[in-house]
Structure 1
Amino acid sequence: MRIPLLSFVLLAVCSTASAVLTLTSTGCVDAAGFQTCQNGVTAASYTCLNASTTQTETLACGCSDYVGNYNCYSAYCWNRVNECEYQEYVVEYLVGCPIAKLPVPYFPTPDNAPDSCSCNVGDVYLAISSNIQQGGTCSTNVSNSSPDAAVQEIQGCECCEVSGALSSIYAICPNTDPTLIGLSSVQQLETTLDTQINDCQPYLAEYNCVSDLGFSQVVGNIFYGPNNLPASGTQTLSNVAGTVTAPASGGVFTYTNGGDGQVYTISAASVKAGSGGGATTTGKGAASTNGGVASTGSAAPATTGKPNGAEKLVSTWGALVSGIVISIVFMS
C-alpha cells in the first residue's frame, strides 16, 4: 500500500518522540554563550506552546525550537557540529518536523571530517529518504503507464524502495549497529507498504531497480535482498579523533532555512569564550526569540531561562508530538 511520504514521516515520529534529543554545551567553543542562546530559545518555545490552540500551532512551536537550537549550536558550538550529537539532532528535526527541509547548517558532515561521528548519520538519513521518494515516483509512473502490469511492477517498486533503504544502512555504515541508525524506520516502512524484505527476492530477481524501475544506484551498488544481506554491524556511535579549529563555513555566513523560509545569519563565536556570536533572522515573519536568534542584532542578549529548561521542554514536546502524530495519522 502506497502512502504519502509525509504520513510515513509522521508515523516514524511515533517511534522517536519518546527519545527527543537535547543539544549540550559541554566542550563548545563558547559554552556560556550557547547556554544563554539555548535558554532564550527554550523560553520562546514555552511561550509558543502555552499560546498554541491547535495541533498545527503546537507542531510549529516544536519546529521553531529545533531551528533555534541548531542555529545556536552553529554559532557557539561550531567546533562540535561534526559530532554524533549535532548530526543526530538534525536528523531528528528532519524526521519530526513535517515542514523541515534542507539546508541546515553543517549537515550532513563532509567525508573524513575531524571529530565526526563514526557513522555519517546524515548520509544514511538522506539515502533512506531518497529511496522512499523514488519508491513513490516509481509506483506512480508504473500505475500511469502500464495498468495491466501495475500490480506486479508496483510490488517491484516497493521492494526496491525497501531494499534501497536497507542497503544504504549496510553500505554507508557497515560496522555500526543498524538499530542505531535507521533500521526501525525501514521496518516501519515495511509495515506501511505491507512489503517485507524477506518476501522480495522474486521481485528483486525480476526487476533491476536501476535500469528497469528508474532508481538511482545505491552506495555500494548492491540492492540487497533476503538471500544476500550482510551481517549486521555491532559498533555503537562515537566520535572519531580530531579537532575542529575554525568554523568550516567562516566567521559569518547566511543561509535560507528550507523549512520556515527565513534567512539566518550565523556569527561564529571566537575561541575565546564570551567573545560574541549568535544568529539573526531577516525576512517577513521573523520573530525574536531572545536567545541569539533574533530579528535584529547579532549577539545573544542576556536571558533568564532556567538552566535545565531545554531538557524540560523536550520532554513536554515529546509527549505532545506523540499524541498529535497519532491523532493526525488516524484522522487522515
Structure 2
Amino acid sequence: MRKMASKFFYGNNWKTKIFLLIKMVFYSAILSIFIILLLLLIKVICYRREWNWNEETMFTNINITMSNEKTGRRFMVPLQRSTCFPTQANITYDENYPDVFDWRSKGAVSPVINQLQCNACWAISILGIMESMVAIDQLNRGVFHEVTTLSVQEMIDCSYRKGCIVGDPRSAVEDMMDRNMSIVSEEEYPLTLRQEACRLPQNIRPKGVMVKSFQVACYVTPEYIMSRVYHHGPVAVTVNAAQWIFYTDGIITRNCPNEVPSNHVAQIVGYDKSGQIAYYIVKNSWGADFGIGGYVKVAMRQNLCGIEEYVTSVDVRSYGLSNQFV
C-alpha cells in the first residue's frame, strides 16, 4: 500500500495513477470489511460468552453450535406460573444431609428426554419427579428393579394445559389431583411431542401413577433444596434457561439472571457442596447430547437462574403398575 501511494504521487503516467488509485481503493475496501467483520465477531463473542467455573480447568468453553431444533430454544416463553410468595419462614426441614448426593447413583432417575420443538418441559419435569418417587418407594421396600417411564404424551394431550405451548408445575399437579388423573406408562401411551386428542377414556381411571399430595416452596434457601432432595426426592424447579443454550460442561456461576421471568422447568436430582463451589445437579429436557449427558450444574449462588424461586415436590400412589403401592 505504501509503495502504491509513492508511485501514485510521484509517478508521471496518468494511466498508471488511475490504476493505482483503483487498486488502493479496492484494498482499502477489503481491509475495512475485514475490520468490520472482526469487530462484529468480537461483539458477538463478548455478548454470547458465559464463563463457567471449573475446579480443574478454571473454565469451560461454551457450545454455540447447538440448533434451535435440538433444544427447543425458540419455544422458551415466560411460564404462566401461579403466584408464589416467599415461604422460607413457614417451612421446616431436616438439617442433616450429606455434602454430596445424587439420586442417579441409586438408579432412581429416568433417562433424559429431548423435548425438541414442543414446550412441554413442565410435563417432562413433573413426570420425571413422579417417576423418581415411584422408584424411591420401591427402593425403600426392597422391590426396585428399574424406573418406570411415565407418558409425557398423556400429559400433553389430556392435561388442561396447552400441551406443547405452555404450562406450569403447580397448575399441572393441581389439575391432576382435581381430576384424579392417572398417568400410564410411556409404553402404553408413546411420545410424539405433538398436541393431539386425548386417547384415554375420561370417565375411567386407567392403571398408572397419581399425585397424592404436593408442596410448592418459593424463594427458598439452598439448604432447603438439599434437604428436600436428600430426604424426599428430586424436585421440579422453574428457571431462566435463556443462557443454557450455550452450556457444555462445568458449573454455571454467573451470567444467568434471576430478574427475568422463568421460561423453563427442570429437575434437581442431586447436589454437591464438597468443593470450592457448591452446585445443584439439574436434569434438563434437551436431549442427552446437551451439557453433561443432558445435565447442567448450577452454582448455589444468590438464586442463580431463578432456580430457588419455585420448587415443587410430590408424593404419588400407583395402581396396576408392577410393584404397586398406595
Q: TM-score, normalised by structure 2?
A: 0.25
Larger Rg computed on CA atoms: 2
Q: Which is helix-richer, 1 or 2?
A: 1
RCO (CA 8 Å, sep 6+): is it higher in 1 or 2?
1
**Larger relative strand fraction:** 2
TM-score, normalised with respect to structure 1: 0.24
